[in-house]
Chains A and B, each alone.
Chain A
Amino acid sequence: MSTEQTTLLLPLVSTGNVPQLSVDLILHSLSDEFEFVKSIDSTFLHPFVGPLDYGIDQTEPVLYTQSSFLETPSVKKFSTALELFYNKSKRVYVLQQRTPTIQGYLNNFIKDTLIPLIKELQITNISVLDSFGPLDEKIIKRKLQSNNHNHKNIDPFFSMGVCELQSIGNLVSNFDSTLRLQMDPDTSLHYTNSIFKFTPSSLIDEISTDQPIFKLTYHLLNDQNLTNLKEVKYCTLFVHEGDNSIDAKLFCEHLPDLINSSSDCKITKFRTPISWKGVYGFSELPSTFEEGIYI
């Protein structure tokens, strides 16, 4: 078993598509470090075939054309719903998921697509990117009701929790008691605050059992063969739906937290992909509108 750490960044399809946009930014801003590895089976995702994406100041899709994983990179013409990229210097794999999971098949997707991939790549650390917004009432309502926090030191947007699997045996055998599920009488949903240990500045401190992150962690914890896995990190951002490129940028500023890398991995120059053109962007607001338009 390798002692070196191999990380997988996993975006969930969530409010404002912020995790997916963040992965776009990471891949294209660091396109000289990342390379396309392969397309992953997307039976459980909404169908998608698109052209190859590239940075707005680039002339060719370098993530693909300079990939050492492809025998003949020039033959690659299409991108698909689920693609794997690798950064050799930082030992980081990034999965880009371009379409949502089909309703009812999230458990299949996790067990039949993600877990075999995690095994194959011998991943030690998984960082899951998520987002939630004002419409996610289940999360927001519970947050407003709980008064446990000292609000002064809370980050209004970013939350991060860690699930350490060093004692995975104990965790699995005592799974039910360790979970300490609580039921919300209003929604009859169950919540747990014992899987992830959230940082003191996190806005949230629990997850509910209908959230994809709960299902993912449940299946990871219950798979006896994931012997390499040491840690699952969960990062989520509070966002409002709209042009979410700034949220994605904010998420990317936490990249060093996400990949635990000893080498410097801050993105110094953000490069947006050409597919964002006309939809998302970092252009400044015209100064004449700086006070906003109100009626």
Chain B
Amino acid sequence: MLFKQWNELVEPRHQLDSPVILKNEESLQESPLPQVEIPSTVNFSDYKKIILTTKVMNPLFPKNLLKMEDLGNIETTLLLTESKMTDDEQNHYSWDFNENFPNEFNPSMESATGNNNFSFKFPIYRISSTDTLLISIDENFLKVSPIFLNLISKKLTSSINNDKSSILLLGASDKISNNIKTVTNKNCSINPPEFITGFIGSLLYELLEIGTDNFECIIVPSEGPIGFEKLSLSTMEELINQFFHELGSQMDFKTYYDECHRNWKLEGSATSTQSGLYI
């Protein structure tokens, strides 16, 4: 997919694109919160390292090469009741559509069922060779509302905070300058006006609130909005080098290197993969 960051209709700067949860802008009711379930079979303190990241980094963790084992899913669901829909949608027809057209598809039902419930699953993997747990969230500013990210972060940080595991956050941001930044509780290497947002920002906020110093956060520069980030070749090289050591060097470096590059290109996350003289 070729993603264009700009469009012809100018959106006001203070409005961020995100999925619409509540359609009735005049509502005075509180919206329900998504429920987050983490499989009870996963015991976080069994692992030496827990890596929390986002989809753009998946190519760094080739499943076959690392012999990753699926441990289940983090599941999050938001159920919205009918009353949360707009009056306009509920009373779109002044007569009963199904009664008049029993065999036809009711277009108002589609929007109701299509948008009424939100459900997402994010897998948890174990990288057995290094005693590492990997959780990667598929964040996407068009589909996943930040409320899900905030609540997953809240639940995850309270579950994984223990003395035995060290936490590594790995994310990409177009709000930082062209260097890889390492952030810990004691060292903030980002300078105004740089900042971190998205799932990694949300996790970092929760970890700082808890006050744990058992974490490290790596943020790499990227281009593009949340869920559609593109990384430069030099950033990829640095990440591959760092994570080859991180993930244990039982692999052949060349094989790992080629596999990571191949995956990034396949996912269209490399800035060089779509350079043509066309729009």
Contact surface of A with B, Cβ cutoff 8 Å: 13-17, 39, 42-44, 46-54, 75, 77-78, 80-81, 98-100, 102-105, 107-108, 111-112, 133, 135, 188-190, 209-210, 215, 218-219, 241, 273-277, 279
Contact = CB atoms under 8 A, between A and B. Distances in A.
B249 interface: no
Given A102-B147, A103-B145, A241-B13, A46 B21 contact: no
Nearest 5 CB-CB pairings of A with B: A104-B21, A104-B22, A50-B195, A275-B192, A47-B202
Interface string B132-165: 0000000000000111011101100000000000
A102 B20 CA distance: 9
A189 B20 contact: no
B205 A80 contact: yes
B110 interface: no
Q: Which of B27, B146, B198 has the most CB of A within 10 A?
A: B146
19 contacts: A42-B150, A46-B18, A47-B146, A47-B202, A48-B205, A49-B196, A50-B190, A50-B195, A78-B204, A102-B145, A104-B20, A105-B22, A107-B27, A112-B30, A135-B10, A218-B28, A273-B192, A274-B193, A277-B193
B271 interface: no
Contacts of A14: 14
Contacts of B146: 46-47, 102
Interface residues of B, number: 48
Nearest to B32: A108
B2 interface: no
A103 B24 CA distance: 11
Contacts of B205: 42, 47-49, 80-81
Contacts, number: 132
Q: Which of B154, B186, B191, B199 has the most CB of A within 10 A?
A: B191
Contacts of A273: 192
Nearest to B196: A49
B279 interface: no
A99 B16 CA distance: 9
A104 B154 CA distance: 19
Interface string B53-93: 00000000000000000000000000000000000100000
A222 B79 CA distance: 27
Nearest to A75: B186
A31 to B, nearest CB: 14
B13 A17 contact: yes
Per DSSP, are chain A's interface residues mostly helix, strand or loop, or mixed? loop
B25 A210 contact: yes
A50 B31 contact: no
B12 A107 contact: no
B1 to A, nearest CB: 23
Contacts of B153: 47
Nearest to B198: A47
B208 A190 contact: no
Contacts of B25: 210
A98 B192 CA distance: 13
B82 to A, nearest CB: 15
B201 interface: yes
Contacts of A15: 12, 14
Contact of B191 (A48, A51, A78): A51
B204 A49 contact: yes
Given A107-B30, A209-B26, A43 B151 contact: yes
Interface string B209-238: 100000000000000000000000000000
Contacts of A108: 30-31, 33
A46 B197 contact: yes
Given A47-B146, A100-B16, A190-B26, 19 more contacts: A15-B12, A47-B149, A47-B196, A48-B196, A49-B208, A50-B194, A51-B190, A51-B194, A54-B192, A78-B188, A80-B208, A98-B195, A99-B197, A103-B21, A105-B21, A133-B12, A210-B26, A215-B28, A275-B192
A160 B36 CA distance: 43
A108 B151 CA distance: 14
Q: Which of A54, A77, A277 has the most CB of B within 10 A?
A: A77
A75 to B, nearest CB: 8
Contact of B154 (A43, A80, A133): A43
A159 B32 CA distance: 35
